[in-house]
Amino acid sequence: MRSDELCFCGSGLTYGECHQAVTQRLWAMKAKGAIVPRPALIKNKKQIEGIREACRINSLVLDKVAENIRVGMTTQDIDDIVDSYTRELGGIPAPLNYEGFPKSVCTSVNEQICHGIPSDKVVLREGDIVNVDCTTIVNGYYGDASRMFTFGKLSPAAEKLVRVTKEAVELAISHLEPWCHLGDIGYYISRHARENGFSVVREIGGHGCGLAMHEDPYVCHIGALHKGMILPPGMVFTIEPMLCEGTSRFVVNKRDGWQVSTADGKLSAQVEHMVLITETGVEVLSK
């Protein structure tokens, strides 16, 4: 399209003021064999502001969970907090009824890898670890993040697993920069996990996010350095590795089709952040 035409992204700016420079650089890289994102995946300034606000509200919801979560409460209690506080802040809980998911948040306890369904029958106990995965819609934009919570004295394996999972996410983020590769994320995460004796789930990973709950690209947490899709400024996606104490093989609950657990019954941990690639580095939107 011409430089003086309105940009395809709906920003209200001309193509020359908005996506042109990034798009032209991507096409040049693609001509040399690089894997590049579709221009529509590169968020404009208006979209980034909307996504940033959704992430802010989402973080406040997780803060509310952190203030109230305790031994003796049920995972349904967590869902009640998330649902009511999200709505109080003017947001919508994105998981509720998403492809049939029955609750407003995912609560994955101990051996559950992800998509744990809150229940009044699951009581949090001393020594448990739980991932609370929260996604919030605000004015049509999405914010997505998860945190690990622990209770009382943990086993040495549980303590190490949670700590290393957090470290792996922070390590991957620290290496992000404009025009790096998607494979860099998986490289740093999987290397750190292996060095500490843990496995990483390959089949479930991060994803683009912001205008919908799940967008391209798929973010695998096992990867090779300088391989995979180029990440230009304006890309927004989640990093959410699932590390396992034992095997990374998993089983899906046959009754509900959602809850994913380790095949060997050993512990799993996950930490999720949503990030924006900027002109100069990376912004963590979910803090």
Give the model confidence (pLDDT) of 23-67 as tens digits.
999 999 999 999 999 999 999 999 999 999 999 999 999 999 999
- Tell me the β-bridge partners of 207: 218
pLDDT higher than 90, residue 167: yes
Phi, psi for residue 149 in degrees, rounded to 5: -120, 140
The beta strands (E) that lie in the chain are given as: 92-93, 106-109, 112-114, 129-138, 141-150, 180-181, 199-200, 206-208, 215-219, 230-231, 236-239, 242-244, 250-252, 260-262, 268-270, 273-277, 282-284
CB 129 within 8 A of CB 162: yes
Query: What is the fold of 40-284?
Result: Creatine Amidinohydrolase (3.90.230)
Residue 15: pLDDT band with limits 50, 70, 90: confident
Cα dihedral sign, 279-61-209-17 = negative
pLDDT of residue 10: 86
Reduced to 3 states (helix: H, G, I; strand: E, B; else coil), residue 74 is strand
Average pLDDT over residues 198-226: 98
CB 111 within 8 A of CB 267: yes
CA-wise closest residue to 236 among 206, 273, 274: 274
Nearest-angstrom CA–CA distance, 144 and 35: 26
Residue 287: pLDDT band with limits 50, 70, 90: confident
Nearest-angstrom CA–CA distance, 250 and 150: 22
Reduced to 3 states (helix: H, G, I; strand: E, B; else coil), residue 281 is coil
H helices of 127-239, where? 156-174, 182-195
CA-wise closest residue to 203 among 106, 114, 96: 114
Which residue is listed with tokens 């303590």?
A: 159
CB 277 within 8 A of CB 235: yes
Domain ranges in the chain with CATH number 3.90.230.10? 40-284
Give pTM, 2 decimals.
0.95
